Amino acid sequence: MRLTFQSISIGGMVVKNRFVHSATHEAMAAPDGQITDAIIKRYATLAKGEIGLIIPGHLFVHLFGQAHTGQGGIHSDAMIPGLAKLAAAVHDHGGKVAFQLAHGGRQSPKALIKRRPLAPSGHGLDPVSLDRPRQMSNEMIKETVQAFVSAAQRAVEAGADAVQLHGAHGYLINEFLSPFFNRRKDAYGGSDENRFRFLGEVVAGVQKVLPKGMPMLVKLNTNDFTPGKGVTPDLAAVYARWLVEMGVAAVEVSCGSYYGFQTIRGDIPVAELAAGLPFWMRPVARIKMKLQAPANRFQEAYNLEAAKVVKAAMKAAPLMLVGGMRRLGHMEEILAAGHADMLAMSRPFIREPFLVKRFKDGKSTAAACISCNQCFAAMFNHQPVRCRYNSGGVKND
């Protein structure tokens, strides 16, 4: 049997294969964050396509942490029935589901949250929220930690198999972890240990409400791609080691933040602009800014080298690798070399929800996704995520 189709145990959760649907904002939720029939249908289809572990789009844990129009919520008990239907739909087709708990931090638009966004530090005009964030007080930090804990309890009640904390892409947890975003001089900033404190408190609190055997996962940036010093692979490895020592069951490694857009000016050469953006955002820049394609085009498995650094610090804990996974043969090589234990994808599953089944049945050896990122363009325009080249949303099963 191919390594990609061997089962794996993460804590007390057994996943039937090594494929993960990496959390992807759907822009399909109701205005108050309620899960809609469209979201349930999307993940039922993906589960039918035999993806082992499905992580739906990030769910905001607090009203002040909503990051997008159409984002799902897990901030109140009223969300539980819809989330339960979503979990059941995945289970009905043999999949496992992990709810991703998130807070937008400085990237939460004022129009959504009706106040200035919150962040570890109050410096700079954020390129996403278009506002200067308010530095969180210690009381606000404690309230937000509790919001994550309460959200995890709701995930348990809704029937999730696992929870994942979103610590990447410039959102609140990533902001606390990053020296670029976090300029605090108190117990929550100024050193690696202090910048980790917020996430450590969230992890410790969530552990208390998860039943025995239910795994906690964390998504980490390995590169922030900010104009100043942010999270690097070496720092991510330190954080990953601390997380595993605390009992986190698995880490998903990613990269990038929207903050790269703040450096976009008309006088910056295209090649220099491309070098300052994470790989997954370069096509977005070409679309949104109508720039010519930079010389450095799509790179396959662009987080692999960083993953090797992080994996070495994690010992036996599973690592999930996302970013530019396209060829089945290459995925097999990565697993065989021990650089990763699970393979996560986002955009390929937007175009081909049945991709894993096609791999399994020998009908395909590579994803059809061309990484044009026009699925992102739809999201930025508050439209449901979709593939331009597969408007129906379903590839032949």
Task: Encode pLDDT of 246-298 as tens digits.
Answer: 999 999 999 988 775 443 333 333 343 344 444 445 444 343 333 333 334 56
Which pLDDT score, from 0 to 100, does residue 56 have? 98
Which pLDDT score, from 0 to 100, does residue 37 have? 98
* Residue that wins the pLDDT comparison between 319 and 290: 319
pLDDT exceeds cutoff 90 at 196: yes
Per-residue pLDDT tens digits for 178-191? 999 999 999 999 99
Mean pLDDT value of segment 317-341: 97
Per-position b or e across 138-173, b if 16+ CB within 10 A of its CB: eeebeebbebbbbbbbbbbebbbbbbbbbbbbbbbb
Q: How far apart are CA 83 and CA 40, in angstroms?
A: 9
CA distances to 158, 196, 244, 248 from 212, in Å: 16, 25, 16, 13
Which pLDDT score, from 0 to 100, does residue 123 have? 87
**Is residue 162 within 8 Å of residue 10, measured between CB atoms?**
yes
Computed from CA positions of residues 154, 241, 244, 192, in that sequence, does the dihedral angle turn out positive or negative? negative
Rounded to a whole number, what is the distance in angstroms from the first to the last CA of the chain? 21
Strands (E), 35-127: 53-54, 59-60, 96-102, 118-119
Which pLDDT score, from 0 to 100, does residue 260 have? 55
Which pLDDT score, from 0 to 100, does residue 238 have? 98
Site of tokens 């590579």: 366
Which pLDDT score, from 0 to 100, does residue 298 have? 62
8-12, 264-268, 330-334 — which is least confidently predicted? 264-268
* CA-wise closest residue to 46 among 325, 348, 321: 348
The residues, any chain, with a CB within 8 Å of residue 388's CB and separated by 6 or more, are 372, 374, 375
Structure-token pair, residue 271: 């090649």
Torsion of CA 276, 279, 280, 283, to 10 degrees: 80
* β-pairing verdict for 13-15 and 8-10: antiparallel
Per-residue pLDDT tens digits for 111-162? 899 999 999 999 888 877 778 999 999 999 999 999 999 999 999 999 999 9
Q: What's the whole-number average pLDDT of the chain?
A: 89
Which pLDDT score, from 0 to 100, does residue 124 have? 83
Q: Is 43 helix (H, G, I), strand (E, B) or coil?
A: helix
130-139, 146-155, 234-243, 333-342 — which is least confidently predicted? 130-139
